[in-house]
Amino acid sequence: MKVKSLLYTSLAASLLFASCNLNEQPVFDDATQAFIAFSATSGNVFEAVDGVPDTLKIELYCASVAGISASVQVVPTDTAYPESQRAKEGVDFKIEGESEIHFDADNRFATIKIVSIDNNVQGGNKRFDLVLTSPQGCNLGANKRFTVSILDDEDPVNMLIGNYTATAESAFQGSPAETWSATIERDFESEDVVYIQPICEFGGLPGSSVTAVAATVDAASNTIHVQLGQPLYGTDMVLADLNGNTSGNLIADLYIEGTSVRFVFRSGYGVPVPDQAGYWYQALQPATFVKQ
């Protein structure tokens, strides 16, 4: 039923597209549709270590056909966060770049740099927002707020944040090994929870379509725990061990040496086909994730 539903949706979309007049070119009206926005909505920067700062480059742009002259104010604010989590300019970070950004036909993109400051205190992660305001010459786009997280370099959980290359032998006899790209992001409302996305790829889905799974980091034992049964796509396709169990936890051993980070699962896992015993969308032997 699920495949049939997707087929009908695609067919309806194609019929709708076919009914359009392909001779009519879409028109972008600078006077009413031009806008300024951030290229992304969030980013991370580590505290400076031993006096060496970390830098986050934040891009914003003016979407315009003709390259109109426009400007916008960029204002830092921390009021969205509890006092203990607020990053303070001049204490935790400094901003390199003008507070008023100008755009024209030759300058459609701009960059703001956030440079971290090391206060030598394990005070936890801090956050603030950059907000676009007071546009002149055009509107603001949807991405008008950018959240900056300043990661405490004394917190070992932060070492996991980043991009990874994952590899695993297939549990399907005769199938080649699997390699895929993954990312880990932190839950800033928790002291020890991160999100792995994707923990595996399957069914021809791009990794970005696979739902991230929550994982708990035990820094004392250098292990990562991932609860089985978490949904990976929709509600039916869930994470299971190779016995088909969807309760309990997968455990991975964590190895951190300087800036080198990797973790290795102790057992295999996969995605069973619902209500089809013995059939799997994906089945992997223990996977290894290496930070890039």
Q: Does residue 238 or residue 28 have the better pLDDT? A: 238
Residue 91 is encoded by which pair of tokens? 């204490």
Average predicted confidence (pLDDT) for the chain? 89
Distance CA 140, CA 42 (A): 17
Q: Which residue has the tokens 């932060």?
A: 158
Is residue 100 within 8 Å of residue 110, measured between CB atoms?
Answer: no
What would the mean pLDDT of 100-121 be, rounded to a whole number?
90
Domain architecture of the chain: domains with CATH: 30-152 (2.60.40.2030), 157-291 (2.40.128)
Confidence grade of residue 148 (pLDDT, cut at 50, 70, 90): very high
Structure token digits, residue 124:
């936890």
Distance CA 210, CA 242 (A): 19
pTM: 0.70
Q: Please, what's the b/e burial string for 209-234 (b: 16 or more CB within 10 A of its CB; e: otherwise)?
A: ebbbbebbbeeeeebbbbebebebbe
- Residue 211 bridge partners (DSSP): none
pLDDT digits (tens, 9 = 90+) for 47-59: 887 788 999 999 9
User: pLDDT tens across 193-206, in order?
Assistant: 999 999 999 988 88
The CA distance from 118 to 100, in Å, is: 27
Name the nearest CA neighbour of 153 among 200, 127, 114, 117.
Answer: 117
**SS3 category, 224:** strand
